[in-house]
């Protein structure tokens, strides 16, 4: 049962972040200021709690600096992704951002002692093929290699670096302390950025403010406390690939609430994507040969 807790936390976190693209599609606030309030509101909610309950533990200097860097990396990822989604399409931005498992694997292989298992590479290829089917092959013929394209790719790279660095930090500090430091760093960083770029801090509709609060509570606090807990106990490569499943859940939510269609091609792609993720959780080392020969 203990081993199941990180997996359940990861599943819950993925469900929470899957709501985020639906909220962004409403376009009730600018992308950059939306990222700021997502972090700032979450910070305002978590800081009083950990201070009152005395659950905050100040880590060593090196770990503290890395936690602050995590906050800046994550804030940059969300800001860049928000801008990419508003300057292109949600599909293009989501697909390119979700290349992060590939970057995680490459960075892990190049710079870390723990190398990705064969299962990870096989699962990644299968999942990315499923993702391709999910968004449609025609989509790739219409790709625009413009600023939005580069921003979406950059978002995926930032995301992967964040996952790897946070994995290291979370081995030294508890989840709530890490989240508090990270959120505070994100809020200050994005606040300064929004101020100098003359982003509007007020003037939103009541619905706009409600969406900002939902992003902070559900997509940030609930999601990333859960995912951070899972990151403490699971491989970063496995976490990054599992996060691809949010594309499937987002498609279902868009069908339910935004009347977006789900085609047979999308359904098959979603199943293949989830199968690819399942491969990484297989306990034995896989090869292409024994997958094909498996009954």
Per-residue pLDDT reduced to its tens digit, 96-144: 666 666 666 666 666 666 666 677 677 777 777 777 776 666 666 665 5
- 94 pLDDT band, cuts 50/70/90, is low
Mean pLDDT of 144-151: 67
Q: Tell me the pLDDT of the chain averaged across its residues.
A: 78
CA 189 to each of CA 34, 68, 84, 252: distance values in angstroms, whole numbers, following the listed order: 14, 10, 19, 34
Residue 124 burial (CB count, 10 A): 24
pLDDT at 185 > cutoff 80: yes
Give the residue extent of every domain in the chain: 4-115+143-234
Distance CA 159, CA 43 (A): 20
Q: What are the tokens at 117? A: 């298992």
pLDDT (0 to 100) of residue 151 = 76
Minimum mean pLDDT range among 189-198, 258-267, 281-290: 281-290
Minimum mean pLDDT range among 26-40, 84-98, 165-179, 278-292: 278-292
User: Which has more pLDDT, 39 or 78?
Assistant: 39
pLDDT (0 to 100) of residue 68 = 94
Q: With residue 250 as reference, give the H or E element that holds it.
A: helix 246-257
Distance CA 169, CA 246 (A): 25
**Residue pointed to by tokens 């413009």:** 146
pLDDT (0 to 100) of residue 218 = 92
pTM: 0.76
Distance CA 211, CA 208 (A): 5
By the 8 A CB rule, do 204 and 29 touch? yes
37 phi-psi bin (left φ>0, alpha ψ -120 to 50, beta other): alpha
pLDDT at 294 > cutoff 50: no
């Amino acid at each position: 049962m203990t081993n199941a807790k990180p997996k359940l936390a990861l599943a819950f976190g993925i469900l929470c972040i899957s709501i985020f693209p639906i909220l962004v599609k409403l376009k009730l606030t600018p992308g950059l200021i939306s990222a700021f309030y997502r972090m700032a509101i979450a910070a305002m909610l978590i800081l009083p709690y950990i201070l009152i309950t005395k659950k905050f533990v100040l880590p060593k200097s090196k770990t503290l600096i890395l936690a602050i860097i995590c906050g800046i990396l994550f804030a940059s990822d969300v800001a860049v992704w928000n801008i990419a989604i508003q300057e292109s399409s949600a599909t293009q931005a989501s697909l390119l951002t979700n290349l992060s498992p590939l970057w995680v694997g490459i960075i892990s292989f190049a710079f870390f002692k723990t190398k990705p298992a064969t299962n990870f590479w096989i699962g990644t290829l299968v999942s990315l093929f499923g993702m391709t089917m999910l968004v449609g092959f025609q989509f790739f013929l219409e790709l625009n290699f413009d600023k939005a394209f580069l921003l979406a790719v950059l978002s995926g790279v930032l995301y992967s670096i964040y996952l790897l660095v946070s994995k290291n930090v979370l081995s030294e500090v508890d989840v709530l302390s890490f989240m508090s430091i990270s959120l505070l760093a994100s809020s200050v960083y994005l606040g300064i950025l929004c101020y100098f770029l003359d982003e509007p801090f007020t003037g939103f509709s009541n619905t706009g403010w409600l969406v900002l609060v939902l992003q902070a509570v559900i997509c940030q606090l609930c999601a990333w406390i859960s995912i951070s807990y899972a990151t403490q106990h699971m491989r970063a490569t496995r976490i990054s690939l599992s996060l691809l499943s949010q594309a499937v859940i987002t498609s279902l939510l868009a069908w339910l609430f935004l009347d977006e269609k789900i085609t047979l091609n999308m359904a098959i792609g979603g199943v293949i994507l989830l199968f690819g993720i399942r491969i990484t959780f297989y306990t034995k080392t896989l090869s292409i040969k024994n997958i094909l020969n498996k009954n």
